[in-house]
C-alpha cells in the first residue's frame, strides 16, 4: 500500500484537502499526546496541550519550508506551546493524575507488569520534579529520540547546552532514584 510522505500530505493539506490534514494528524497524534502527558504529568492537561499544538500546526502549516524534518518542526511548535502552558498554569502532580499504563508489558506475568507499572510511575513522578529546561531535553532525547543537534535547533540553544542540561537532569534523576531506593529498603 502506498503511503504519502509528510511533505506530500502537507502540500495537499495546504490546498484544502481534509484527508491529507487528518493523515498528518493521525500520523503524529499518539506521539504528540504522549509528549504532552509526559510534560504536563496529567492526561487531561495533555489532551488540552495536544489540541493547542495541532491548532498551532494547522495555523502555521503554510510557513513550513521543508528545510528540516516535519517532525522536528512539529516538536518545535510543541515546545513553544508547552512553554505557554507552563506560563499559564503550573501543573500540580498527584499520584491520582498519573496516567495508567494501557499496554501491559507481559500479559502472562502479572509480576512483571506490576514492576513495569511501578517503574513508569516512578519515572513520571521524578520527571515532574525536574526543571522545565531539563525535562524538555530528557523528553526529546529519550522519548522522542532526537539527536543533540536536532534538540539544539528546536530549542534555539547550542548542542553543548543540550548535553549539559541532559547530564544535569540525569544526575538529578539518579539522585532521586537512589533516595527512593534507600527509602523502600
The CA distance from 41 to 63, in Å, is: 31
What is the pLDDT, as a whole number, of residue 98?
41
Question: Span 27-49, mean pLDDT?
Answer: 90
Helix (H, G, I), strand (E, B) or coil at 67: coil
Sign of CA dihedral 11, 12, 18, 24: negative
CATH topology of domain 1-91: Rna Polymerase Sigma Factor; Chain: A (1.10.1740)
pTM (predicted TM-score): 0.63
CATH topology of domain 109-185: Arc Repressor Mutant, subunit A (1.10.10)
Domain ranges of the chain: 1-91, 109-185
The CA distance from 41 to 98, in Å, is: 6
Q: Measured in whole angstroms, how far is the alpha carbon of residue 156 from the centre of its chain? A: 17
The CA distance from 165 to 3, in Å, is: 37
Annotate 163-182 with b (16+ C-beta within 10 A) or e (fewer). Answer: eebbebbbebbeebeeeeee
Segment 48-88, tens digit of pLDDT: 999 999 999 999 999 998 888 899 899 889 988 988 888 78
pLDDT band at 102 (very low <50, low <70, confident <90, very high): very low
Amino acid at each position: 500500500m502506498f503511503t504519502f510522505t509528510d511533505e506530500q500530505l502537507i502540500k495537499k493539506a495546504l490546498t484544502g484537502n481534509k484527508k491529507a490534514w487528518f493523515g498528518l494528524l493521525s500520523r503524529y497524534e499518539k506521539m504528540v499526546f504522549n509528549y504532552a502527558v509526559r510534560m504536563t504529568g496529567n492526561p487531561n492537561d495533555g489532551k488540552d496541550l495536544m489540541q493547542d499544538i495541532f491548532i498551532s500546526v494547522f495555523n502555521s502549516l503554510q510557513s513550513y519550508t521543508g528545510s528540516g524534518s516535519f517532525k522536528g518542526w512539529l516538536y518545535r511548535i510543541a515546545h513553544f506551546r508547552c512553554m505557554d502552558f507552563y506560563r499559564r498554569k503550573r501543573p500540580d502532580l498527584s499520584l491520582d493524575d498519573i496516567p495508567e499504563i494501557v499496554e501491559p508489558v507481559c500479559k502472562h506475568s502479572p509480576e512483571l507488569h506490576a514492576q513495569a507499572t511501578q517503574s513508569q510511575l516512578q519515572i513520571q513522578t521524578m520527571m515532574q520534579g525536574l526543571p522545565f529546561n531539563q525535562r524538555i531535553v530528557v523528553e526529546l532525547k529519550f522519548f522522542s529520540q532526537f539527536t543533540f543537534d536536532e534538540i539544539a535547533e528546536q530549542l534555539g540553544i547550542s548542542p553543548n547546552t543540550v548535553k549539559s542540561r541532559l547530564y544535569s537532569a540525569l544526575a538529578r534523576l539518579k539522585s532521586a532514584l537512589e533516595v527512593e531506593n534507600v527509602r523502600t529498603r
